[in-house]
A and B are shown apart, each in its own frame.
Chain A
Amino acid sequence: MIKFLRLNQLWQLTLALYHEITREPGVLFWGILFPILISLGLGLAFTKKADVVRKVAVSRSSGISDRGDSELSGFLEKNCIKKQPDSKEDYDWKYDHKDDKLGNTLFLFYEMDWPEAMVMLKRGTVNLILQSNNGKTEYHFDPVNADAELTFRKLRDILGSGAVLNVESNSEIKPLTVTGTRYIDFLVPGLITMGVMMSTMWGISYGIIEKRSKKLLRRLVATPMRKSHFLVALITVRLTMNVVEALILILFTLIIFNIMVQGSISALILMFIAGNMAFAGIAVFVSSHTSNTEVGNGLINAVVMPMVVLSGIFFSYQNFPDWSVKIIKVLPLTLMTDGIRSIFNEGAGYSEVGISILVLSVIGILFFSAGLKIFKWH
């Protein structure tokens, strides 16, 4: 009977804190819709290559019009669309290169005298000048400029072999679009873990600090309420919200991008819970003392911001200096993100992520205990 009544206390606390969150209309948007919008925006932006426009100058000194037999003039006359005399376009010819795999490229050709072409090149309006020489096409560009080289390579393939550089044999191009190697596959696990960190840190820490500042904590502990019940309820509510948010995001990206979990589902669930534990522990620790919401803001940001930047949520951290990568790898957000990412994309299971699960749980327990030791209820 006593046990049952105690459970009722815990249940009422959980219910109250749950209502507190879900009755705030912004929660639905920021917790659920916003991550989906990010995944959609970034996912689409980085999985489908946008059309590229490349502007090229054609030197007039080669006398295109009267030497119709050169490769260049032949190409321009036969394959390109010539500007209509009365149209407002500024180009002289255009060529639309369709490529499903590497993305479409639109080439715009401008006919002009050599000195003018050089000015355009220096200004970066064009990065390549074409010139006919004895029927052959010359490509003039700065070899240090990677973009110019790309324009050259693409044009050369379309026009025929160039006269400036040796042509190597065209190795076949194999763009990577297999599930698990796309940017969206990299991004979604990061969005999940970042969501967990943000919602836990702000939800729990800010929730505690705000209740302390409005003297609600003080009022609560002046009753026979068990202090542990309050924290357990707060964490339970947050975990539940995080599960719902993650599930919706996974479901959504499954439908739109065909995301798949290739590794162990049970390891994924444990990893998720361990990550939640770590951040809940840190959140309690961070909010153990202050009753000032401004200070709270600062503390939470100080924990959250470095990890958002460093932990490889949006882009890999492998490009950071070697010494820093060692540190970055043991940040809680990195541990959780790398773990969940490898379960999603590399088919990882307990042997790969077991240690991370353990470390995250221990981080959570340590911070929680330390936070509770110094926790100010009044």
Chain B
Amino acid sequence: MTNPVIEAKNVWKSFRTVQAVKGINLKIPKGQFTALLGPNGAGKTTLVEMIEGIQKPDSGEITIMGKHWRGNEDKLHHIIGLSLQETRFIDKLRLTETLQLFASFFNLGKERVNEIIEIVGLEEKRKSFVVNLSGGQRQRLAIGIALINAPSILLLDEPTTGLDPNARREIWDILHRLKKESETSMILTTHYMEEAENLCDYIVIMDNGVILREGTLDQLLQEAGNLDDLFVSLTGRRIND
């Protein structure tokens, strides 16, 4: 493997009484779409937020394009795009205004805002207040904001949780197109097997702060007929229980 864009080495993180991440190693090569698949409390958000520089590991190290977060914040912020689990933006700001605000942080202007609106298919909602968008539209806005700086690395934390199948498919379409048209590397966390299968080249199954199995879909399916069965055989329960 050539130099990975994201690398985590023996990363640990705990909160008071909870060990959220327990010695995780991960290498993401350029252009790969990776799914972090795991039930509630598996440690997905904690791991992703450490990669995003939002949380600091207790021990171990994380590098992005070979760089540590310390001392490289500004550079790394420019090449990463992300959406957090459950962020809310400013309610009474219009969709275009919200995008324009985030664009200005990257010294980008109206043209990029218009491109993004087209990419996420929200042309009809330009003038709507963020508070009046549906759940799916809000999620697409969040992805639009994540893409605004044309990031080399995209980190999406549960972008489709709580959405109906249609809204979910719209988001998958956006990401499929991104895969075709760019070399962006992505990590996406999810509870949904089909999302991991449908979108990602590489699947990492996590539970209780550790990685249980990882590999391409084909590699994982050698052990069991489908991901659901594999998960049950690894943990003794179903992922969405």
Contact = CB atoms under 8 A, between A and B. Distances in A.
Interface of A: 5, 8-9, 11-13, 15-17, 19-20, 23-24, 214-216, 218-220, 222-225, 378
A210 B170 CA distance: 31
B100 A12 contact: yes
Nearest to B75: A224
A224 B106 contact: yes
B52 interface: yes
Contacts of A20: 90-93
Given A5-B107, A16-B93, A24-B92, A222 B101 contact: no
B12 to A, nearest CB: 19
Contact of B53 (A19, A216, A222, A225): A222
Interface centre among B90, B98, B100, B105 (most CB of A within 10 A): B105
A222 B55 contact: no
Given A222-B53, A222-B77, A224-B78, A215 B102 contact: no
25 contacts: A5-B104, A8-B104, A9-B105, A12-B104, A13-B101, A15-B97, A16-B93, A16-B101, A19-B90, A19-B93, A20-B90, A20-B92, A20-B93, A24-B92, A214-B87, A215-B84, A218-B87, A219-B84, A219-B87, A220-B105, A222-B53, A222-B54, A222-B77, A222-B84, A224-B105
Nearest to B100: A12
A218 B54 contact: yes
B93 A223 contact: no
B contact patch SS: loop
Interface of B: 52-55, 74, 77-78, 80, 82, 84, 86-93, 97-98, 100-102, 104-107, 129, 149
Given A9-B104, A222-B52, A222-B84, 18 more contacts: A5-B107, A8-B104, A8-B107, A9-B105, A9-B107, A13-B104, A16-B97, A16-B101, A19-B97, A20-B91, A215-B84, A216-B89, A216-B90, A218-B54, A218-B84, A219-B87, A222-B77, A222-B82
Contacts of A13: 101, 104
Contacts of B101: 12-13, 15-16
Contacts of B87: 214-216, 218-219
A207 to B, nearest CB: 10
Contacts of A11: 104
Contacts of B97: 15-16, 19
A104 B98 CA distance: 61
Contacts of A9: 104-105, 107
Contact of A223 (B77, B86, B129): B77
A24 B92 CA distance: 8
Contacts of A12: 100-101, 104
